[in-house]
Structure 1
Amino acid sequence: MAFCTGKRSFIAISIMALMMSGCRINKGFSQQKQPPNILFIAIDDLRPQLGCYGDKIVQSPNIDKLAKAGVLFNRAYCQQAVCSPSRTSLMTGRRPNTSKVWDLKTHFRTTIPDVVTLPQYFKHHGYHTQCIGKIYHDPASAQDAPSWSAPEILAVTDKKGKYVLPANLEIKSAKAAATEEADVPDDAYIDGQVANQALEVLRKIKDKPFFLAVGFRRPHLPFSAPKKYWDLYDREKIPLPAQNTPENVPAYAMHKSEELRGYSDIGFNKEIADAKQRELLHGYYAAISYTDAQIGKVLAELDRLDLTRNTIIVLWSDHGFHLGEKAMWTKTTNYELDTRVPLIIAAPGKRKGVTSDGLAELVDIYPTLAELGGLPVPEGVEGTSLAPLLTRPDQPWKSAAFSQFPRPWQYRGEPQTMGYAIRTDRYRYVEWRNFKTDEVKARELYDHQSDPAEMNNIANIPANAALVGALQQQLRDGWQKARPKSRIF
């Protein structure tokens, strides 16, 4: 009998161990009651034009407050400056040439079907993962059910989420006016609804480890926001950008602002008057302040529920944006204004209110969150954990950040020409190559020490031949060799 009792006890203990192993959250936080939660805040088309980045116009008090609670990355870059490829790269931890997602229609499950996404990885380790708003690209066909523990909420929007005024809703095209100002409550537009849903979900999941992704659509076009956010700005005091075009650049480098010109009040064949440009700038700033207010609601609820002290908060934008500079509007280039993004990470026990100038990439977020969550970084991830910079933000870091963009842009399948770019501490270097043969068709080189606006391509100056050769080798060596040689925690 004693033997049988011991055997039953052994079996019971073994089963319990197996169950604990199967439900294991992670071993890095085994001594805590609960591993760290993750609040994952995505913003669409936001360039680093915020108070915390030194901007004197935009009012962004809630994001500025978050920056004081964590580390602000001053030089963070996306991997391709348009929605789906950038978000795919971040969410899968793979760069565009690995995911083979270069356009808005290709879904990564058709090209890398077995990849484990960032939230899916946390789901496999016992987290409740949930999505509210735009995390992947907007259409229903772009969503990814395996990433989440529950169905996506407001992951897809229609015209009514973008406009409320009858004059815009009655226009047949999905692109009505490029801006909209309406005296309505915040939840009349999609981002207010996203914030409200985030508050509800937080209250439901507060007692279990969670990965909550909250995606806001503004300041993506149309620049729609309630009137009170427009009232924060005096349009007549908004300066217009310098609109000179860069010198000596290949045609591949530029575009004709087709995304903006598709809106009903802009048009394809007319100059955008100064008054309209100020309206667009006013709308962009109002949309930022509107989104900032929604983020503030979510962060306040996190505090109210006493979750902030055990929550990693990461805020990012999928790419930057041109606001008339270089006579271009919107994104889809390899320039600094399109590839540089805001990135803030606030994590328990890490530095607060500091800035890191270390070169960072959105593809780094996957391994960063894995490491902060006490999980091993999975094989195949093509980024570098930024966790050491959260403790020592001024330590030597990457030698380059990598971006790319194809031409022509509107296509499906492999591109004809790919522009590959690196941003080093001082330079931006771009090679435009035949995608199949890898033949270099054109080059760009900008010296940020003397030309921060990237207006003068100096790649073809004979005196720069050695510099071009060195940067070309650095580009060809790729992201692996650009990683920091040591990490200080």
Structure 2
Amino acid sequence: MYSRIVCASIYLLLTLGSAHAEERANSTKLNILHIIVDDLRPEITSYGLPDRHTPNIDSLVKNGIAFDRAYAQIAVCGPSRNSLLSGRRPDTSRSWNFINHFREDHPEWTSLPGLFKKAGFNSFGSGKVYHPFVPPNWDGDKSWSALSLPFQNPCWFYGISCVPCVDRKGFKVEPKCNDGGFGPGDVRTCWCEVEAVEDILTVDHALELMDFAAFDFHSPMNKNFYLAVGLHKPHLPWQADKKHFDKFPLENISVAAHKMAPVDMPGIAFASCDSKSPWDPLNDTEARHARRGYYAATAGMDEQVGRLLDALKKRNLLNSTVIALHGDHGWQLGEHGEWRKNTNFELGTRVPLVISGPDMWLPKSRQGQRSAGLSELVDLMPTLGEIAGLDVHSLVNGETPLEGTSLLPLILGEMPEVKNASFSQYPRNPKNMSRPYEQNGIDHTNRTLFKVMGYSIRVDEWRYTEWRYWNPQDLVADWTPTGLMAAELYDHRGLKPYPTDFDISENVNLAEKKDFAEIRVSLASQLKRQYYHTRTDIRSELKTSLQMDTAS
């Protein structure tokens, strides 16, 4: 593999400076650089937050479209990636944690990377694109061209189990750390004086793959590419070079305005964090250290984004490549008393999503614009395929239909919205149903042992969530009236998605307030209809339930 990369690199050195290396403007298809960032919420300067030190992501926003209301379908790494990379929602992929994956029930599905491979593109990937082992072998040749195999994620490829710091060869190094030891549970801040952290290794490998991609693209075969790069930070542990911590003086770090659970929140909605409860907030000193760690890790990640952008420019690929960057789900930094993802709250599900491209594709008048239209990560497969010039529907013909919607009309300014709702969900398995906020995680729990599934709908002015008992035999929720365990209703009227303010929303649950009964009934019906269309094997059950609702 590497000998081919060396040959490609030599070719580029000889030709990139010559007229023969000019980009092929007559190419009818566009290349795609797809950057997936772990645990990234919109904690970015260009999302209206000053001094977050994210200049490279900000440059993408300046030259592209920022989506201010983009949402993950489930707020945990593996299932979210199974959803967005298959183009199907979690109840269709049947992947809700780190045990199962979409290939178990649907080995024939075309994945997002596989879509490009099937269309004749080079399909390359580096880093944490899929979550390790779900699907096995990073989905192998069903997703990736030969040069990407065996797939390399430095965090797992060398068997180092996601240690924070490694050397350039990928071997474990014990880091020298300062400023550590604060935070709830496994939330720790630290900086590492070593040559490389895992994201640097991921980008090192991505640049080698980009050399080969450029070689094929600039050659007479004019072969396009899809390159996915999975960056691990700001995933825990929050670690970065000291220079990134220095950008965020501790005395300048604020804490969450609402440090406890929303008023009247049902306990099942809370993601437990060790012994912490929704009513036992972290003290301000620990919270400032933890937030500083997240900010520094995000700044370090942004530096690696800059390396990717510089590499595109040096290889004369900027004018033929569309760049998509997004988080795999959101994160709470003390809001609602939470220090995790794993929720159906706005902060657990909302992600930054930026799509940027060359003038030949995105008119100057659209560059730097923002979209307030609702969007979802499940929309990425049809969107990126259509942007690249692929006939997406013919490439997945005969398979379970894709469940996303192309965002291209929003990007080009042709429509203000392409959907009126986004949907998210999250399972729970509390050990004690009388205290459902304690020890309720499901990361490595057999899906037949889930006890509750939470389904959430986000519309323009509201978020509504239902927590329903789980049917372990059929792996579906109980959508009959007796299946409802708890509900949440949050008012977003008058709240603007930009500039971002993480403290202003979802602090009072209105689900049991009589004044809001009408909107609750409407959203509950819409939520149930979405589920009805998603799972064909329970339509008869839902049809009966919907008829009961109508009759009542």
Same fold (TM over 0.5): yes
1:143 is aligned, of 115, 138, 144, to: 138
- 2:460 pairs with 1:465: no
Partner of 1:333: 343
Query: Quick check: 433-442 or 98-107, which moved more?
Result: 433-442
Q: 1:138 to 1:297 in 2, by over 3 A?
A: same
Contact kept, 8 Å, 1:320 with 1:340, in 2: the verdict is: yes
Instruction: Provide closer, same or farther for how the CA distance between residues 57 and 225 of structure 1 changes in structure 2, counting only shifts above 3 A.
Output: same
1:235 equivalent in alignment to 2:250 = yes
Q: How many residues align?
A: 438
Tell whether 2:357 aligns with 1:347.
yes
Are the aligned partners of 1:69 and 1:346 in contact in 2 as well (CA < 8 Å)? yes
Please state how far the C-alpha of 1:203 moved relative to its aligned partner: 1.4
Amino acid in the other structure paired with 1:463: D
Percent sequence identity over matched residues?
40
Query: Is residue 356–residue 394 contact of structure 1 (8 Å, CA) maintained in 2?
Result: no
Residue of structure 2 equivalent to 1:189 = 197
Q: Secondary structure at the match of 1:455?
A: coil
1:255 is aligned to 271
Match of 1:104 in 2: 98
One-letter amino acid matched to 1:315: L
Q: How does 1:44-443 map to 2 (within 5 A)?
A: 44-139=38-133, 141=136, 143-145=138-140, 146-149=142-145, 150-151=148-149, 152-154=151-153, 156-157=155-156, 158-159=160-161, 161-163=163-165, 164-166=173-175, 178-185=188-195, 188-206=196-214, 207=217, 208-242=223-257, 243-258=259-274, 272-348=282-358, 349-350=361-362, 351-377=366-392, 378-379=396-397, 380-392=401-413, 395-408=416-429, 409-410=441-442, 411-414=445-448, 415-436=450-471, 437-438=478-479, 439-443=483-487
Looking at structure 2, the residues matched to 302 and 287 of structure 1 have their Cα atoms a distance apart, in angstroms, of 24
CA 1:442–1:87: 2 relative to 1, 3 Å: same
Of the structure 1 ranges 237-246 and 289-298, higher mean CA displacement relative to structure 2 is found in 237-246
User: What CA deviation, in whole Å up to 9, does each residue of 1:350-377 have, x standing for no partner?
Assistant: 2311100000000000000121122223
Once the two structures are superposed, what CA deviation does each residue of 1:278-312 show, in whole Å capped at 9, x if it has no partner? Answer: 11111100000000000001011101111111111
1: CA distance between counterparts of 2:309 and 2:514? 53
Task: Confirm or deny: 8 A CA contact 1:355 1:393 kept in the other structure.
Answer: no
* Distance in 2 separating the partners of 1:388 and 1:450: 25
Amino acid at match of 2:466: E
**Long gaps (5+) in structure 1:** 1-29, 169-174, 483-489
CA offset digits 1:343-399 (Å, max 9, x no partner): 011134223111000000000000001211222233510000001111107624311
Instruction: Tell me, in whole angstroms, the C-alpha distance in 2 between the residues paired with 1:443 and 1:154.
Output: 40
TM-score normalised per structure 2:
0.75
Q: Distance in 2 between matches of 1:450 and 1:375?
A: 39
| Structure 2 counterpart SS, 1:105 | coil
Aligned-partner SS, 2:447: coil
2:528 corresponds to 1:476: yes
Once the two structures are TM-superposed, the CA of residue 139 in structure 1 deviates from its matched residue by 4.5
CA distance in 1, matches of 2:352, 2:248: 22
Residue 190 of structure 1 deviates from its aligned partner by 0.2
Deviation at 1:247, TM superposition (A): 1.2
Shift of 1:272: 4.0
8 Å Cα contact 2:407-2:418 kept in structure 1: no
CA contact (8 A) 1:405 1:419 kept: yes
Assess if the C-alpha contact under 8 Å between 1:71 and 1:355 holds in 2: yes
The AA in structure 1 aligned to 2:308 is V
Q: Corresponding residue for 1:12? A: none
Distance 1:155-1:107 versus aligned 2 partners, 3 A rule: farther
* Superposed displacement of residue 253, structure 1: 0.5
**Cα distance, 1:447–1:393 mapped onto 2, change above 3 Å:** farther
CA contact 2:423–2:457 (8 Å) conserved in 1: yes
Hey, what's the Cα distance between the residues in 1 that align with 2:533 and 2:86? 21
Residue 144 of structure 1 aligns to a residue in which SS?
Answer: helix
Contact persistence 1:75–1:360 (CA under 8 A): yes
CA 1:142 to 1:332, structure 2 compared with 1: closer, same or farther past 3 Å? farther
Report the Cα offset of residue 178 of structure 1. Answer: 1.8
**RMSD of Structure 2 on Structure 1 (CA):** 2.6
